Structures are given as structure tokens and as C-alpha cells.
Amino acid sequence: MKTLTIIGGGSWGTALAVVLSRRFDSVRLWVYEADLAARMVETRQNDLYLPDILLPGNVHICNELSAAVDDASTLLSVVPSHLARSVYQQLLPFVNPSMAFVTATKGLENGSLLRISEVIRDVLRKAFEPSIAVLSGPSFAREVARGDPTAIVVASEDPALAAEVQSSFSGPTFRLYTSTDSTGVEIGGSVKNVIAIGAGVVTGLGLGHNVTAALITRGLAEITRLACAMGGRPQTMAGLAGLGDLVLTCTGDLSRNRMVGVELARGRKLDEIVNSMKMVAEGIKTTSAAVELARKFSVEMPITEQMFQMLHFGISPREAIQRLMERSLKGE
């Protein structure tokens, strides 16, 4: 009997539970909020993060980590990046080396500047050396949950693990491609959220399609420079986890990070925007880590830098755009 445990009951974790319920005999979905977990058991819906989507009968809601992880063959984590370390520290007594670990978190750990797969490895290697894969690509949770065709990437330094996850996760509406470039896949999935805030600013200022296209293109160049400096491959950035996810997050109305940029351009304060959101916009926290990584690896990332200045030092969205346009002229 194949059992999948999903750690994290937000919109993406819930959507993955729905789509992967067709591929596993049993899916356990760990939900942090006890009151939400109780409601989900009763109503079979996640009314807080993904309303109006019914949970299949083989999806079991858990509020205790030990019960959620017990006898699971695969553990898929979908927790916010800033909580990943603490969650895995809590998981440590209940996991074992026979499990396959998959992370679908699109973010970086501030301070350490580690990718989330590196955070997981850092915690679990206290007990054993884990097998880890990374899941990323263009995938709005609601569209995945309602069965819209979706294509994403699973990456691992262990090709056999990537192939195993590809085989067990792929279905009629959910197609996985494999990669051995975990670095590129994670950097693409993380930093695209920073560029998406800029795309939201462009939309909020009413600046039109020309600048959006330029922002996506130059944003991809930034992400590619950083990923390659860290050991990733440029081909990855031209694929689903790079260009694909970037285009989706910069143009889709369901993008939380894009929405943050739109609201900033309309004059709302960042704290007010964040406090009004039910879900995490990873790009806000990732911006700081991305800027530090750019400096560490001597990579030029002007869009990321201006988003950092806007989010953390209060320059206006219009000034951020102006600074980008008035930079010294360069070759492409």
C-alpha cells in the first residue's frame, strides 16, 4: 500500500493532495491549524486556503506530525520557506532513511541563504543522509486542484529518485519531467517570485505590455546568471522551472507575489498588504536572500536589487522603475 504524506495544508499542499490522491492508495495531509484541520475533516474542504474544492475520500487530515508520517513511503513538504527548518526539526524523530523526501517550497532560507532542499538535508543528516527531490514549475494551486493540465519538473541529484517521483506522481492532468539540476530548479522557483513583484508594480502603475515583456526577459537573465553562478544549468532556466514559472507568476491573476506589487503601486503599505493576506507571498522574504546571494557570487541583479530597495527601504514603485531605466547602457 502506497502512502503519501503531505506536510503543509495551504493552497498548494491541498491541491497536491487532491491531484495525487489518484496516484496513491492513501494521502495524509498534515494541517498546522487545529481548527482548520477539524473543519476539513467535517466539510471535506479547505475553506481558508482553497475553498470549494472537495477532498477525495482517501485524503486523511492530520494535525499531529507523528500520525501523519507513520509508515509513509514518500514525504512531500509544502511549508513556507521560513518555517522549513523548524518543521523538519519536529519531524526528525518520526522519519527514517527508507522514505523519499520531496520539497515543493519555492523559497530560500534567510540568513543561511540555503535552498530548501539544503535546509532539509542539514536537519536530517543529524540522523541519516536523506534522498531528496525538488518539485517546481508553473502551477497555480486552484488550476491543479480542478484538474487543468499542468506540467512541472522534479529534480534530484539522484536520477533514480527523480524517475521514481515522476512515475508515482504523474497522471492524466499532472505531468512531471525529470532533471538532475536541483540548484537551477530551486533558484528558478524562488527568485521568479521577486521578479513577479516587479511585474505587479508594472501592472499597478498601468505601464502596459512592453515593459512587462522586458521585465520578464531581463528577469530571466538575472535568475539565469545567479543559478549558473551557483552551479545550475542555463537549459534549466529555459524550461518549466525557469521561464515557464516566471511567465505564469508575472502574468497570472492568481499570483500572490504579483498582487503584492500591484497593491504597492496603488499606494498601499507593505505591512498592510501582508496583514491582509491569508497566504504567504514568498517573494517578500526571498528578495533579501536573493540580494545577498547576488553579492556573494558577484552577480548583477538590478531588478532584484530595486525590489529589495522598494520592499525594505521604502523607495516608491515609480522610482524603482526609473532607476532601472536610467542605468548605464549595456549590451544584451
**Angstrom distances, CA of residue 182 to CA of 41, 92, 165, 177:** 35, 23, 14, 13
For residue 329, give the amino acid letter: L
Task: Give backbone dihedrals phi and psi of 11, rounded to 5 degrees, phi first.
Answer: -65, -45
DSSP secondary structure string, 178-210?
EES-HHHHHHHHHHHHHHHHHHHHHHHTT--HH
Q: Are 245 and 187 in contact (CB under 8 A)?
A: no
Say how far apart CA 120 and CA 102 lie, in whole Å. 10
Task: Give backbone dihedrals phi and psi of 26, rounded to 5 degrees, phi first.
Answer: -140, 135
CA atoms within 13 A on the CB side of 249: 34
Catalytic residue among 2, 106, 126, 192: 192
Task: Give backbone dihedrals phi and psi of 234, rounded to 5 degrees, phi first.
Answer: -60, -30
Determine whether 296 is an active site residue.
no
Question: How big is the chain, counted in residues?
Answer: 332
Which three three-digit cell numbers place residue 92? Answer: 526528525
Task: Give backbone dihedrals phi and psi of 176, rounded to 5 degrees, phi first.
Answer: -110, 140
Which three three-digit cell numbers place residue 226? Answer: 545567479
Would you please indicate which residues are annotated as catalytic (active-site) residues? 192
